[in-house]
Amino acid sequence: MKAITTLRYSLLVTALSTVIATSTFAGDAPPPSRGTYPALPSETPADFKPTYDGFDYETRDVMIPMRDGVKLHTVILVPKGAKNAGILFTRTPYDASEMTSAVESGHLGVAVSHDDDASDVLVQDGYIRVAQDIRGKYGSEGDYVMNRPLRGPQNPTPVDDSTDAYDTIDWLVKHVPESNGRVAILGISYDGFEPLMALVHPHPALKAAVPMNPMVDGWMGDDWFHHGAFRQQNLEYIYEQTASRKNTHKWWNNYADDYQFFLEGVSAGAIAKRYGMEQLGFWNKVAQHPAYDAFWSDQAVDKALAREPVKVPTMLVASLWDQEDIYGAFAVYKAMKPHDDARKLFLVAGPWFHGQEVRDGSSLGAVRFGTDTGLYFRQKILRPFLAHYLKDAPATTAPVNAYVTGENRWETGPAWPMDATGGARPTRLVPGPDGTLALGAGTGEPSATAQYVSDPAHPVPYRPRPVGPMSGTGWQHWLTSDQREAASRPDVLTFTTPVLTAPVRISGEPNVHLVASTSGTDSDWVVKLIDVYPDQVAEQPEMGGYELGIAMDIFRGRYREGFTVGKPITPNVPLAYDFRLPNANHVFEPGHRIMIQVQSSWFPLYDRNPQTFVPNILFAQPADFQPATQKVSLGGADGTYIELPVTGS
């Protein structure tokens, strides 16, 4: 019976195959020639003209000519009925159209709600909003150069971001009749770099500048390097930002954990080659200039502004836990302050990640502040500042507004660092044997060393694995992430004070004086200043024993004698490494402890030091990466210590 059924099935299949093979379907026939069938007109007009009857603002999309003939794409949003209004201006490499458009609403507040600035202030005070694509990006003509240097040794052309800002402002005050002829330029990050450029030979109509978290010195402590250690996770940004005008080429990655991706990639140079980045001009410049040579120092913005008088009221905005540009705002403040004879320089330091001042600032990761610090900044500091210079409102902004972390309150003062009582006293924090840490000690003979083995095959993660890319909340919050995981590793030294019985207040930059030796010929040193919470915190149990980073940074050992040239380290000889940690404004409360951690990798944010001296670490080969024994000298008048900027409360 089974055999008969199988036979019938085979005959049926054969018959059907024959029918299919000999049949002709409509799809096989040649299409009719054009003109043999009636037209079916397209339902899409050739040039649709939308109406904006319900909008409370008008959009003007213009191309503004620069002095060299290049035209820059600019979007102008004018509130309906605006008259004698100030202009808020942002120059951006991130698409001005996207910044100023929202199809779901005709309200200006919604249109700019995704804007990277203070949209609530813009709407409340009736300002005209202007966003412009910088040259070479999105809708603008011209060539793109990352952080285009000022005219000079690194830029032989007659134009730069300063001249482009000047020419645009000149056009705006002549062609926007609803304006009062007053312009404020503001922005965050790269958009914060642009207001600093506008301060160089500024246009007379520029009445205020608000650089927030600006890119200032990419080698010393902002996006690309920190004290010579390369931030290799930024390869993704360099790739997407410079490979096309509209960022259409996207970085790809087959790994869920960047730690594994960069570890198997060996070096930043090898990974860049795999992605074809030798085609990208900026990457080639980075690769050719691993040290702080003229390429970097000539375009450091703080150095350029140190030569300029403060002509334009400028509010620098810094984030105390800025995971991207923690160096820039404070560096510019320090450079400009000696030239601030007219008292036009302002500083805000808030408890934020990069750009959080225009978002909800109630917390940062596990750290809670009790109030929305971002809203406070926008309403109580930024809004009256802009209103004074664009609308003649009363002057109410203090020269310095800084948030006191630990005590969770705002304070004002005449200058940075904050020092309410005039009793600033640099105080040493000295590590000792058995993981001890003493405040104010540091005399006597050297007593001991603490050591660990740094193995490039097992680098210390800078945040818990799996390590994601430089985006999202994991990236935004990593500087406030719990450091207990690092403390548990054998290649991280930990020193801790006894429980504090009185508050310790610091304001400014802690100075590191690390005395250490390595069995290798090169080494990185990471030093962290940490606030250790009590073992139990009743009002927030998850903070029990939490190790909160207050000021942390990395230093590439080859630059211990100077940043311009890297030199091999003499093996097994204690040497001094002096560098500064990022600014802090913090109170270590009674019941807490102060901790120092020392390690030699912070991966994969920073590339691995092979611990064997090579001319350019970006192109280190697998055989160059060798374990090294690291010894930190403890005790003595000139032993290892961190000098804290302790101030009165």
CATH 2.60.120.260 in the chain, residue ranges: 425-646
Alpha carbons 466 and 94: distance in angstroms, whole number:
28
Name the residue with tokens 């099935």: 9
Burial class (CB in 10 A: 0-12, 13-18, 19+), 178: middle
Tokens found for residue 245: 């005008």
Cα distance between the two ends of the chain: 100
- Give tens-digit pLDDT for 496-524: 999 999 999 999 999 999 999 999 999 99
pTM higher than 0.75? yes
Confidence grade of residue 442 (pLDDT, cut at 50, 70, 90) = low
With beta carbons less than 8 A apart as the criterion, state whether 323 and 462 touch.
Answer: no
- With vertex at residue 557, the alpha carbon angle to CA 553 and CA 562, rounded to the nearest 5 degrees, is 100
Q: Where in the chain is the domain with CATH 3.40.50.1820?
A: 57-219+302-413
Which pLDDT band holds residue 52 (cuts at 50, 70, 90)?
Answer: confident
> Does the pLDDT of residue 8 top 50, yes or no?
no
Q: Angle, nearest 10°, between helix axes 235-242 and 281-288?
A: 140
pLDDT tens string 372-424: 999 999 999 999 999 999 999 999 999 999 999 999 999 999 999 998 556 67
What integer pLDDT is reported at residue 24 of this predicted model?
Answer: 47
- Rounded CA gap, 387 and 37, in Å? 66
Residue type, 74: T
Place of tokens 């890319």: 469
pLDDT at position 308 is: 87
Q: Which fold has domain 425-646?
A: Jelly Rolls (2.60.120)
Question: What pLDDT score was predicted for residue 423?
Answer: 61
Instruction: State both tokens at 90.
Output: 């942002």
Mean pLDDT of 42-58: 91
Tokens of 375: 């809203």
Query: CA of 449: how far to CAs of 226, 493, 559, 574, 632, in Å?
Result: 27, 11, 23, 10, 5
Rg (CA), the chain: 29
Q: How confident is the model at residue 103 (pLDDT cuts 50, 70, 90)?
A: low
Which residue reads 């302002």 in tokens?
346
Place of tokens 């080698």: 219
Determine the pLDDT at residue 19. Answer: 43
Q: pLDDT-derived band of residue 38, with 50, 70 and 90 as boundaries?
A: confident
Which residues of 378-445 form beta strands (DSSP E)?
A: 400-404, 409-413, 425-431, 437-439
Q: Report yes or no: 278 and 238 within 8 Å, Cβ to Cβ.
A: no
pLDDT value at position 34? 63
Could you write out the three-class secondary structure of 25-87? Answer: CHHHCCCCCCCCCCCCCCCCCCCCCCCCCCCCEEEEEEEEECCCCCEEEEEEEEECCCCCEEE
Structure tokens at 66: 């620069």
The answer to whether 61 and 162 have CB atoms below 8 angstroms apart is no
Q: How many CB atoms lie within 10 A of CB 175?
A: 12
Average pLDDT score over residue span 455-469: 97
Residue 545 has pLDDT above 60, yes or no: yes
Superfamily of domain 57-219+302-413: Alpha/Beta hydrolase fold, catalytic domain (3.40.50.1820)
Lowest mean pLDDT among 89-98, 263-272, 510-519, 640-649: 640-649
Q: What's the whole-number mean pLDDT along residues 204-215?
A: 98
**Region(s) of the chain under CATH 1.10.3020.10:** 225-294
Half-sphere exposure of 467 (CA within 13 A, CB side): 20
Nearest partner of 124 among 86, 167, 177, judged by Cα: 86
Per-residue pLDDT tens over the stretch 315-332: 999 999 999 999 999 999
Contact 386, 208 (CB under 8 A): yes
Could you tell me the pLDDT band of residue 561, with boundaries at 50, 70 and 90?
very high
Q: Bin 389: left if φ > 0, else alpha if -120 < ψ < 50, else beta.
A: alpha
Q: How far apart are CA 423 and CA 341, in angstroms?
A: 25
More confident residue, 182 or 123: 182
Answer yes or no: is pLDDT of 136 > 70: yes
pLDDT at 560: 98
Question: Is the pLDDT confidence value at 53 over 90?
Answer: no
Q: Looking at the domain covering 225-294, what would its CATH class be?
A: mainly alpha
- What is the chain's percent helix, strand, coil content, to nearest 5? 25, 25, 45
pLDDT of amino acid 22: 47
Task: Quote the tokens at residue 259.
Answer: 């730690």
Residue 28: pLDDT band with limits 50, 70, 90: low
User: Based on the number of CB atoms within 10 Å of its own CB, is 274 exposed (0-12), middle (13-18) or buried (19 or more)?
Assistant: exposed
User: Residue 272 is encoded by which pair of tokens?
Assistant: 């860049």
8 Å CB contact between 607 and 545: no
The conformation of residue 382, written as its DSSP 8-state character, comes to I
Q: What is the DSSP letter of 183?
A: E
Q: Where are the alpha helices (DSSP H) in 266-357?
A: 268-274, 281-288, 294-297, 301-305, 328-336
Q: What is the mean pLDDT of the chain?
A: 93
Predicted confidence at residue 264, as pLDDT, reads 98
Interatomic CA distance for residues 75 and 65, integer angstroms: 14
Whether the pLDDT of residue 63 is over 50: the answer is yes
Under 8 Å between Cβ of 581 and 597: no
Residue 572, pLDDT > 50, answer: yes
Residue 541 has pLDDT above 60, yes or no: yes
Kindly tell me the burial class for residue 120, based on how many C-beta atoms sit within 10 Å of its own C-beta (0-12, 13-18, 19 or more): middle
